[in-house]
Structure 1
Amino acid sequence: MRAKTAQDRQLLELIDPIAESLGLDVVRIRLMSGAKRQRLQIMAERPTDHDISVEQCAKLSRAVSEVFDASDPIPGEYLLEVSSPGIDRPLTRPVDFELFEGEEARLETDRMIEGRKRFKGVLAGFEDGNVLIDLDGEEDTALIPFDWVSDAKLVLTDALMKRGAAIRAARGEPEDDGLPQDASLGDAVEATTDTTTPSEDNA
């Protein structure tokens, strides 16, 4: 789930070693189309505390831009966005379901499971390749194969907001009066990259 399409997976192979060299883990990447240009979104974090600073976002953005300028994996102009996973973060790796055990989450699968593809409940861990989740309105803990999960993210709750406030306090940042303007992004850095190669006639 860190990469959704074949092109995402190819880009992830380039981005992973860059992030690792900076002491970061890539949580998710998505190359999305737009009206004027494509947008490459990279979510990353430090593996030690699952956070990232604006400075680290900027370093990763510059490092990725340098490699992409040389290898040109995305034709044309695109917007590169590097950010933290945010408070209501996506869950893309087995470790995420263990780390956020006890938190509320929404899951979607790529196939029907007992007549449905969407699930909501409290995460109960990860075991033998399965996501464990206590579904709303059901007594038994459900086991959903991780390989069947197409999308998963935390639900923005009061508990998550308090957790986010604690992180901001630890970083010495002021508390918000209410919901953040964009809880899904957190720290973010954007850069526009034009990899269009001029034709020989214009060279």
Structure 2
Amino acid sequence: MSSKLEQLQAIVAPVIEALGYECWGIEFLSQGKHSLLRIYIDHADGIFIEDCEKVSRQVSGVLDVEDPISNEYTLEVSSPGMDRPLFTLEQFAAHAGEQVKIKLRVPFEGRRNFQGVLRGVEEQDVVVLVDDHEFLLPIDSIDKANIVPRFD
């Protein structure tokens, strides 16, 4: 996790948890004047638009005071949804057996994109089975990972 994401996590996670939600993960896309701070929240009862609004108001106020992002940005608060992004080793472990799509920052064995069955974690690696071949992908090299929703 980058130092900017760690800083943002340290600021917003306690606020979200104090409201009774889980801070599922944070994405910060720095693009000059069009930067985006996306915060995913979760709750055992699900997430509704009112939940996102409540968290957005509280987090926005704290971010205005702390001011960790120097330029303009858009704040988005969302549920992880069916194509749930995965951020931590614990999240990867909890979703073992699911189909996942993983994009790496740099190529691993000549490729950056992997789609297969999430087998779990081993130390700091995410284990994915793709076409009968098991890959151990270092968590630090993962740029983006999502559950592939099933519609049975």
Q: TM-score range by the shorter chain?
A: 0.7 to 0.9
Q: Which residue of 2 aligns with 1:168?
A: none
How large is the RMSD of aligned CA atoms in angstroms?
Answer: 2.5
**Deviations for 1:154-201, whole angstroms, at most 9, x for unmatched residues?**
223324xxxxxxxxxxxxxxxxxxxxxxxxxxxxxxxxxxxxxxxxxx
Q: Indicate the structure (1 or 2) with the bigger Cα radius of gyration.
A: 1
* 1:125 corresponds to which of 120, 127, 130: 120
Q: Which residue of 1 aligns with 2:35?
A: 38
Q: Which residue of 2 aligns with 1:56?
A: 51
Moved over 4 A (4+): 33-37
Q: Which residue of 1 aligns with 2:23?
A: 26
Q: Which residue of 1 aligns with 2:136?
A: 143
| TM-score, normalised via structure 1 length | 0.64
**1:35 Cα deviation (Å)?**
8.4
With a CA cutoff of 8 Å and minimum separation of 6, indicate the structure with the bigger relative contact order: 1
Give the Cα separation in 2 of the matches to 1:76 and 1:57: 23
**1:126 Cα deviation (Å)?**
1.9
Q: Which residue of 2 aligns with 1:67?
A: 62
Identity of aligned residues (%): 37
Structure 1 counterpart SS, 2:120: strand
* 2:93 corresponds to which of 91, 95, 98: 98
Q: 1:144 to 1:35 in 2, by over 3 A?
A: closer
Which deviates more, 15-24 or 49-58?
49-58
Q: Which amino acid aligns with 1:101?
A: A
**Deviations for 1:73-132, whole angstroms, at most 9, x for unmatched residues?**
334543321110111111111122222222211112233322222211011122322212
| TM-score, normalised via structure 2 length | 0.82
**1:143 Cα deviation (Å)?**
2.2
* 1:79 corresponds to which of 74, 82, 85: 74
**1:153 Cα deviation (Å)?**
0.9
Q: Which amino acid aligns with 2:147?
A: L
Structure 1 counterpart SS, 2:61: helix
* 2:4 corresponds to which of 4, 7, 11: 7
Q: Which amino acid aligns with 1:155?
A: V
Structure 1 counterpart SS, 2:47: coil
Give the Cα separation in 2 of the matches to 1:104 and 1:50: 24
Give the Cα separation in 1 of the matches to 2:67 and 2:24: 23
How many residues are aligned here? 152
